Amino acid sequence: MGAYETALKMEPRSIPALVNASMVQARMGNNEKAETFLRKALEVDAGNAEANFNMGLLKAEQKNLPEAEKHLRAALKADPQMDSAAFNLGVLLAKDRPEEGLQFLRKANELRPDNPKYGQALAFYLGEKGDQAKAIQALQETISRQPGNGNAYLMLGRFTSGRGSRKGHQRFTFRP
């Protein structure tokens, strides 16, 4: 934290230093201080992708979902290639607005097909929607790109046995 404080004394409007200081504070459990640093970064540049992304995550952690959505959308608008913003926005929206959530999960998966978490999340929420065939397809694509990913195989086994669908008996959960 000392290095960021020094950097901010030299340049108080340094967005990278403000965002990084907020991340350190959040990891230490100081969410109020983390939010203060992010607010300062957003005062400097309200459209900054990293500051909005981190504020979105912080607001989601605080269960302020409308604010989380607002900041994640702003991050993605500022950087349309930010796969982590698309992923988190997709997970955030998937429960109440499944079609919109799936749209963002697909985007994250397209942006970073090498990240198996994205394919697994897409499959999970497709399964929640009741689209077993597309869920299986998403997992097969994930496995083809990451053949050593055991979690994708487990999910695929659950879907193909009928235990991963809404109508299945032993439901499982996905944790982003």
Rg (CA), the chain: 18
Mean pLDDT for the chain?
88
Query: What is the share, in percent, of the chain residues with pLDDT greater than 70?
Result: 85
The structural domains of the chain, ordered by start, are: 2-114 (1.25.40.10)
Q: What's the rounded Cα separation, in Å, for the pair 90 and 72?
A: 10
Top-ranked range on mean pLDDT: pick from 22-31, 73-82, 137-146, 154-163: 73-82
Q: How far is CA 72 from the centre of its chain?
A: 9
The predicted-structure confidence for 120-168, as pLDDT tens digits, reads as follows 999 999 999 999 999 999 999 999 998 888 899 999 988 888 665 444 4
Tokens read off for 125: 């929420």
Q: Calculate the CA dihedral of residues 69, 74, 75, 79 and round it to 10 degrees.
A: 140
Backbone angles phi, psi at 75, to 5 degrees: -65, -45
Least confident of 69-83, 93-107, 157-171: 157-171
Tokens of 66: 């409308």
SS3 162: coil
Residue 89's alpha-carbon distances to 63, 95, 152, in angstroms, are: 14, 11, 22
Predicted model pTM: 0.85
pLDDT at 9: 56
Angle between helix 116-129 and helix 150-160 axes, rounded to 10 deg: 20
Residue 138: per-residue pLDDT: 94
